[in-house]
Every structure is written in structure tokens, then in C-alpha cells.
Amino acid sequence: MPVVATGQGVLTVSADGAVQRWPELPGQVMAMAAHGDSVAVAVHKQGVFLGESGATHWHDLGAGLAHRDVRALAFDPHSGALYAGTEPAHLLRWENGEWTECGDLLALPGAKRWSFPIRPGIGHVRTIAVHPLEADVLYAGIEVGSLLCSKDRGETWEEVEGLGHDIHRVVLHPEDPDRLIVTTGQDTKPYRGGKGVYRSADRGRSWEQVNDGLGDRIYTEDAIVAHPTDPDVVFLAAADGIPPKWASMRQLARGALNGNVYFLSPAKLRRRRGADVGFFRSDDGGSTWARLGPDDGRGLFDMVWALEGELTEGGGLRLYHGTTGGEVNVSEDEGRTWARLVDGLGEVTHIVTPAAGGQR
């Protein structure tokens, strides 16, 4: 069953749409990750909390966390250690009840250029990925800045060249561990030109921009999921345009004041078709994409920040997506058709399926 972060808190949604609410949190969820029965959440400027379904409280992992503005989380599938990326850009690992900083990201040569278009203008760690077969190999993406790689569990880092800089999500797959797929937004100063999806087949030594089939929908956020047993099958939700083209002015203004412009909702006063989100499938590991859904060209008005999948007992893949309109939708046919599972939740920002080890 999916665990969902929403405007009304974290909850579990059952197959019949019933909702089980988790304990209250002290703010908006900025990142979410699952491992086994455990779910970790980062709350805006409040640190990291760990919980399990049915528990009566969250375990506050704030003791010893030197930087509390956490923007990315990932569990190490090998050891169960938890990585947290922050603003300013630091990477920390929680293991054996203690936090340890992983190297010095800000000492890298490119760090002087890292920035963010909303005040205070500081770049942050937006995505973390642990190599599925080699626990020493980590990837961290800076928004807006560099893709970073470590080969010694975070002690030292190098910057990866050849792709866009507005990095949102890094995806790896255990069946094809040398392949990386990276979703990006749109480069902002001091960078130029990067946008959409990038793919590497050699651990990041070389890259290709892979927007073929997406059309104008090349604003890609966290809503990407690879088939758990087939690395060539990848699903993606992408919007037509960056948020300033369609987002609510009220939300944009509020976000500019508090430094949080994630999970914005479209407004009809800005653009009648809203975020104009399309769903896509790749059968060649992200090299090309084909549109799923209706043939009329219309996209979804609400923004989709969260997309996740889980294997069914029959070996198929069930997909879930959440919208800024407060819906969680489910597809039993790998994205060809969708049914509403539950609505009225407030903005849906993250979905994880703990048995699948999802992270957002």
C-alpha cells in the first residue's frame, strides 16, 4: 500500500481508498524515503523524522543533525543507513543512531557557482542515489549546480559533467547499474541550456539528452519510476513549462518569502490548461518516450509531483500518482488508464511504497 505525503499530513491509502493517518508532523514534508517497514520524512527546516505504519509517534532524528533544512533523503539498500541532503549543500549519513557528515561538498571547485533562483539563492542537495550493487558509490544532485559522484561512501566527491544543472532526480536500477537517468528542470544563471531528461550508459562518463517523444512537456521533477524487474521500462510524468508559467501567484509569492517553492499548484488565471502534465513510457531505458493516455493531446491540469510503482502478486506493475488537486490515482495497466483511489487530501507531494523501497 502506498504511503502518501499530503497537505493534510502523511497517510497510508488502502486498495479500497480507505485512509490511515500517521501522527502529525511539524510542517510540510520536503522529502520522503522508505526501507522495509520504515518511512523517513524531511520536514521543512525541522529536520528528519522516522516512523512506521500504525506507530503512535514519529522518531525525531534531529539530535546531532548539524543542518536541519533537509531537501533530499535516501536509504542505503545495503546497510539501511539513511542519507540526508541539505541547504546549504551538505550530505549527512544517519547510522547506528548518529549523524556523520559525508565529505565537504562546498569545497568542490564548482560549488562557487551553485545557486537557486529563489532567495536566499543558495544551492542545495535535491537528490541522492546509492548504487544498487556497490554501497561505496553515491550520487548527489545539486539544485542548481552539479551532479556529484563519490566512490568511497561520501568521503570524497567529484563533479560529473555533460548534463543539465537544474538537477531534480537520479534513477538507477539493479539490473543495469551502469545506467543513470536524471530528470532536470531548466537551467538558470549562471548556467545555460540544460532541460529535460538526461541518460548515461557508462556511470556518468558521457551523457545524452533524451527528450525524444516528450514534445513540449520537458519540465521533469521527481515523478519518474523504473520498472522494478525490467530496467528498460521507465515511466515519467512531465509538465509543459516551468512553474512560473502556470503556478498560483499567491503560492509563488509565499514561496519566495519562505524559500520553499516546491509543490506549487496551477492556477487557471495564469494558464487555462494549468501544468498540462502528460504521462510517458520508455521501453528502451529512457532513450525515447511514448505518450500514455488520451490521443487528444490534452494534459492534466494539476501538477504531478509524485509517481510510484509496486509489483503485484501476478508480476505486473501497479502505478500511483498524486496531484496538487488532492487526488491519488491508480493504474492497473501500467499507465494506460487511471482510476481515482482517493481525493480531498490537499496537495499530494510524495508517494512511496515501502515494500519497493521507494524514495522521493
pLDDT in tens, 205-235: 999 999 999 999 999 999 999 999 999 999 9
The three three-digit cell numbers of residue 252, written as one number: 509563488
In the sheet with 158-160, reading across from the earlier edge strand, the strands are: 124-130, 138-143, 147-150, 158-160
pLDDT exceeds 70 at position 360: no
Return the ∠ at Cα 112 (arms to 107 and 117), rounded to 5°: 130
**pLDDT of res. 358:** 56
Q: Phi first, then psi: what are they for 333, rounded to 5°? A: -125, 40
Q: What is the mean pLDDT of the chain?
A: 95
Strand partners, 122: none
User: Which CATH architecture is the domain 3-356 placed in?
Assistant: 7 Propeller (2.130)
**pLDDT of res. 357:** 54
Neighbour-count burial of 269, counting CB atoms closer than 10 A to its CB (0-12 exposed, 13-18 middle, 19+ buried) = exposed
With residues binned 3-state (H G I as helix, E B as strand, rest as coil), the percentages for the chain, rounded to 5, are 5, 40, 50
pTM, full prediction: 0.96
74, containing H or E segment: strand 70-75
From CA 308, how far away is CA 353, in angstroms rounded?
7
The three three-digit cell numbers of residue 315, written as one number: 508480476
Strand partners, 141: 127, 147
From CA 298, how far away is CA 176, in angstroms rounded?
34
Cα 76 vs. chain centroid, distance in angstroms?
A: 16
From CA 330, how far away is CA 334, in angstroms rounded?
9
- CB burial of 298-316 (b: ≥16 within 10 Å; e: otherwise) equals ebbbbbbbbbbbbeeeeee
**pLDDT of res. 256:** 83
**pLDDT of res. 303:** 97
DSSP symbol at 357: T
**pLDDT of res. 119:** 85
Which of the two residues, 313 and 131, has the higher pLDDT score? 131
pLDDT exceeds 60 at position 87: yes
**pLDDT of res. 259:** 80
Return the ∠ at Cα 242 (arms to 236 and 245), rounded to 5°: 130
User: Is residue 195 a contact partner of residue 187, using CB atoms and an 8 Å limit?
Assistant: yes
Q: How far apart are the first and last CA of the chain?
A: 16
User: Is residue 166 a contact partner of residue 123, using CB atoms and an 8 Å limit?
Assistant: no
**CB half-sphere exposure, 113, CA atoms < 13 A:** 15
**pLDDT of res. 85:** 98
The residues, any chain, with a CB within 8 Å of residue 272's CB and separated by 6 or more, are: none
Q: Where are the alpha helices (DSSP H) in the chain?
A: 249-258
Strands 208-209 and 219-227: unpaired
